[in-house]
Amino acid sequence: MKLTRRKFLGGAAAVAASSMTLFNFNLLTNSPSASAADQPSEAIKTFRNVCPRNCYDTCGMITYVEDGVLKKVEGDPKHGYTNGKLCLKGYSYPRRVYSPDRIKYPMKQSPRGSGNWTRISWDEAMDTIAKKILDLKKRYGSTLPICLDKYSGNFGIVHYGIEGTMSSIGYTTRAVGTPCWPAGIDAQTYDFGTLYSNDPEDMVNAKYIILWGQNAAWTAIHSLPFINEARERGAKLVVIDPILTSTASKADLYIQINPSTDGALALGMARYIIDNNWVDWEYARANSLGFDEWVEYVKKSITLDWASEKTGVPKDIIMEIAREYATAKPASMWVGYGMQRHTNGGQNVRIIDALGVMTGNVGKSGGGVNYGHLETWGFNYNAMVNAPPKGSKGFIGPDGKEGDRAINMNNFAHDVSAQSDPPVKMLWLACRNPGAQDPDTNAIEKMFSSMEFVVTVDSFFNKTVEMSDIVLPATTHFEDWDVMASYWHYWVGINQRAIDPLYECKSDVEIAIELSEKMNALEPGSCTFPTSGTPEEWLAKEFNPGIHQMLGINDYKELIDGPRKAKMPPASWSDGNFRTPSKKIEIHSELAEKNGLPALPIWVDEMKTPEKYPIRFMTPHPQYALHSQFQNLDWMMTTNPEPKVEIHPNLAAKYGITEGTMVKIYNDLGSITVKAHLTRTTSTNVIVAYEAWYKNSNFNVNYTLKAIPSDMGKQATGNDGLAFHDNFVMIEKA
């Protein structure tokens, strides 16, 4: 702001001083150099960026900038995992940055949801927000009526400044948890102490690969070359998935499993492995607790017939993959996030973990039960940690400590509405679009309309922005300094500011600074967020000796030469130092038991299909979008102009549905209407539509989705996950 004003005044003064003309300029000003016109175009400059989206691949990018304009993006060849290539979403970035649809200025809607927007200055926006915060604080005696919902829109480390914004105004209500992967995280936490996967580049060493509910072709495509290399070296690829995905289509063996029965398949395999004594007794007994107890359970309770009946997988196939998995050493398993989005999802992951342990594949190069990791995320989170202002009143938790009030991100609509002491009155949304992504969209709409005040920071006019009072324009990652780590590969890259922020867009930290200045002006001491520092300085503060050492650098600036891979062994847990309370793999987990879960990885029944709604509606990740990002861009809208629901021809025939028929998908919660695509890539009781936000469309797969929790997630992420794929519906011709 200051900079602009100075520039403006400077410009005006220059014009006034010049005897050139008496013309009064408003938008133009004298250029600094008299011979500006003769200057040749600047040479093309390149910058390093990292795609900050919620994606396994977290690609290194090279950005080409000419005359301050982003011309194109390419993959960073120095990035050993993404290897100089981007996905179709990555290549579409210039369309995102320069889309005329971008949100350009702070805007105010009155009343909320009316579509009546006025442009306001940052000053007015901050003034309104700050006054609202102070007003709520005064009325309720604390800032707890203010609720933050931030998640995965941008996983850059500096973006944790959003949490910092809230911390700095006092104790607030926070949406806690993660909708994506918590059940699996907890499963691995109970078993190994945390989630920690092998280096994906290490998959080349596998002799056998099982992708369990994992569609790498759409969600982690940069892993495919490593899988392909393993296959070229002789490895067999097995894909287990209810949907015949693009990845599954390439497999040597594809198993169309009954949804939510992955644990039963793993138990059947375990039984056959025990029966044939292919167990790595030495590894399992030396490294784990409760292994024999579990073996007894398998022997006593599991039969191949049962497993076959449960999973819909023929016995001989269970035997085949059990034998191959147990005897091909090393064998790698990759557990996808889709398969744990069930009411028994975490438990199924625990059973698969046990399968890895019993065959001695854990801790081995070319092996592992790979789910994800957070080993490279040890930054300072400097922007996040701010002490609350003096005298802040917080929420007294069950442990007696005063702090933020946590509510469940995965039942956000319900939990926000359920708060009464004090009630939630204001929402702050950043990197998050609950209007499109949360379960039970009708409930979300209702909850939003009960708020006094909603602030959203975003780049495009999505459903959440539609339901806001004030929207603040967010920068893209090309307009920010940041650093990004991956939850899959071991690389860390720096993200340079390649272009100046467009229009009046600001990064989350810059917004926090503005807010802090305003709040302290209105009420000194009411906000602790520091008000100085350039974006690059804020980035620099994220680094520490641990990170330096891990990446083999002395200074963050070295990352400008190229991303670095963490110095870690290729196989997770190869040192045998597990992070459970017992320091061993806990096949018998007391922690799980304490949390009301089975101590052992035993079978837990899947959710029963309700009679009234016999069809399972699965809504996995799309190819052209990342949640509600990307699909709205013109290239995507041309290539994939409208959503479709995939229906098996046999199921379609029952309801008189043919290719292209509009189908109404409904249950007690709500309904959506979408065009049918008949395909045998799905099964006869499962329909599939891919979640996404299409431009100028109200399509949203979450209208029929109940906020049913998955079995795990509380331990490590604060809240249980969401059983996204236990979504049952009825269909009819629309």
Partner 1 sequence: MTFFEDCPPQVLKTHGELLLALSHLFAQGGENLSQTLSPLVKSCSAIAEHYNTSRLLQANQILAQYSETNDGEYLVMCYEFNRLFVGPNAPVAPPYESVYLSSDHLVMGEQTLAVRKFYQRENLQTIGQRHEPDDFISTELEFVAYLLSRIIETQAAKNSAKIQLYKTLYQEFWQQHLGLWLKTFAHTVSQSAKHPLFSALSEILVALSTLNAPLNTKEAPYETYAPQISRRSSSRCCL
Partner 2 sequence: MSKQLGFLHNSEKCVGCRGCEIACKNEYQIEATPQWRKVFQLHEDDFSLPTRMFFSMACNHCAHPECLRVCPVKAYTKREDGIVIHDPNRCIGCRLCTMACPYDRPQINPAKKKVEKCNLCYQRIDQGEKPACVTACIPGALELVEINDSLDQKTGILKTLPGLPSPKITSPSIRFIGPKQGKQIRRD
Residue closer to partner 2, measured from CB, 605 or 634: 634
Min dist. Cβ of residue 301 to partner 2 (A):
24
Residue number with CB closer to partner 2 (182 or 336): 336
Please report how close the Cβ of residue 686 comes to partner 1 at its closest, in angstroms: 34
Provide the minimum distance between the beta carbon of 95 and partner 2 in the complex, in angstroms, as a whole number: 8
Q: Where are the alpha helices (DSSP H) in 595-732?
A: 634-639, 649-654, 714-717
Token representation of residue 625: 């979008």
Quick one: 38 or 316, whose CB is closer to partner 2?
316
**Least distance to partner 1 from the beta carbon of 46, Å?**
18
From partner 1, partner 2, none, which one binds at residue 104 (CB under 5 to 8 Å depending on kind)? partner 1
Choose between 293 and 634: whose C-beta lies nearer to partner 1: 634
Residue placing its CB nearer to partner 2 in the complex, 258 or 332: 258
Contacts of 232 (CB under 8 A, 6+ apart): none
Nearer to partner 1, 116 or 450 (CB): 116
The partner in contact with residue 502, picked from partner 1, partner 2, none with C-beta cut-offs of 5 to 8 angstroms by kind, is partner 1
Angle at 373 between CA 229 and CA 219, to 5 degrees: 55
Q: How far is the CB of 381 from partner 1 (least distance, A)?
A: 29
Residue 617: φ, ψ to 5° = -110, 105
Query: Taking Cα atoms as reference points, which of 87, 259, 703 lies closest to residue 446?
Result: 703
Pick the closest to residue 712 from 259, 184, 355 (CA basis).
184
Residues facing 462 on adjacent strands: none
For partner 1, the closer CB: 40 or 391: 40
DSSP one-letter string for 325-364: HHHSSSEEEEE-SGGGSSTTHHHHHHHHHHHHHHTT-TT-
Residue 119 or 733: the one with the smaller Cβ distance to partner 1 is 119
Find the shortest distance in angstroms from Cβ 529 to partner 1.
24
Output the 3-class SS for 115-154: CCEEECCHHHHHHHHHHHHHHHHHHHCCCCCEEEEECCCC
Three-state secondary structure string covering 99-120: CCCCCCCCEEECCCCCCCEEEC
For residue 635, report the phi and psi dihedrals to the nearest 5 degrees: -60, -40
**Least distance from partner 2 to the Cβ atom of residue 92, Å:** 6
Which residues contact partner 1 by CB under 8 A?
4, 7-8, 11, 21-23, 25-31, 34, 36-37, 39, 67-70, 94-95, 98-105, 107, 115-119, 460-461, 465, 471, 473, 499-504, 634, 695-696
C-alpha to C-alpha distance for 665 and 733, rounded to whole angstroms:
9
Asked whether 509 and 158 are in contact (CB, 8 A), the reply is yes
Chain centre to alpha carbon of residue 76: 22
CB 673 within 8 A of CB 645: no
CB of residue 311 to partner 2, shortest distance in Å: 10
Among the listed residues 570, 576, 580, 187, the one whose alpha carbon sits nearest the alpha carbon of residue 355: 187
Structure token digits, residue 439: 């379960």
Q: Which does 387 bind (CB under 5 to 8 A by kind): partner 2, partner 1, none?
A: none
Q: Please, which residue, 354 or 499, has the CB nearer to partner 1?
A: 499
Assigned token pair, 119: 């442009």
Q: Which does 254 bind (CB under 5 to 8 A by kind): partner 2, partner 1, none?
A: partner 2
Q: Binds 591, which of partner 2, partner 1, none (CB < 5 to 8 A, cut-off by type)? A: none
DSSP strand pairing (671-678 vs 236-240): unpaired
Cβ-in-10-Å burial (0-12, 13-18, 19+) of 403 comes to middle
Residue bearing tokens 């837990």: 604
Give which of 632, 636, 634 is closest to 694, Cα–Cα. 632
Least spacing, CB of residue 67 vs partner 1, in Å = 6
Which amino acid appears at position 250 of this protein? K
217 binds, among partner 1, partner 2, none (CB under 5 to 8 A by kind): partner 2
Residue number with CB closer to partner 1 (98 or 281) = 98
Out of partner 2, partner 1, none, what residue 211 binds, judged by CB under 5 to 8 A for its kind, is none
Contact of residue 39 among partner 2, partner 1, none (CB under 5-8 Å per partner type): partner 1
Distance between CA atoms of residues 488 and 490, nearest Å:
7
* Residue 525, Ramachandran bin (φ over 0: left; ψ between -120 and 50: alpha; else beta): left
Place of tokens 């040749």: 40
Q: Both tokens of residue 268?
A: 């059947």
H/E segment holding residue 521: helix 508-522
Query: Which DSSP letter does residue 44 get?
Result: P
Min dist. Cβ of residue 305 to partner 1 (A) = 56
Stretch (H or E) spanning 175: strand 173-176
* Closest CA relative to residue 658, chosen from 552, 575, 733, 572: 733
Q: Which does 115 bind (CB under 5 to 8 A by kind): partner 1, partner 2, none?
A: partner 1
Residues 303, 324: Cα–Cα separation, whole Å: 19
Nearer to partner 1, 31 or 449 (CB): 31
Between residues 313 and 665, which has the closer beta carbon with respect to partner 2?
313
Please state the closest distance from residue 312 (CB atom) to partner 2, in A.
5
Least distance to partner 1, CB of residue 478, Å: 12
**Residue 730 Cα to chain centre, angstroms:** 29
Smaller CB distance to partner 1: residue 27 or 387?
Answer: 27
Q: Which does residue 67 bind out of partner 1, partner 2, none, counting CB within 5 to 8 angstroms by kind?
A: partner 1
Q: Which residues bind partner 2 (CB under 8 A)?
A: 71-75, 83-88, 91-92, 94, 217-218, 221-222, 224-225, 228, 237, 244-256, 258, 312-314, 317, 623, 634-635, 637-639, 648, 650, 679-681, 683-684
Q: How far is the CB of 629 from partner 2 (least distance, A)?
A: 15
Residue 33 C-beta: closest distance to partner 1, Å: 8
* Residue 317 contacts which entry, partner 2, partner 1, none (Cβ below 5-8 A, type-dependent): partner 2
Coil, strand, or helix at residue 262?
A: helix
Strand order in the sheet with 482-485: 482-485, 491-495, 564-565
Work out what residue 578 binds among partner 2, partner 1, none; the CB cut-off runs from 5 to 8 Å by kind: none
Task: Say which entry of partner 2, partner 1, none residue 388 contacts (CB below 5 to 8 A, set by partner kind).
Answer: none
> With CB cut-offs between 5 and 8 Å by kind, which of partner 2, partner 1, none does residue 471 bind?
partner 1
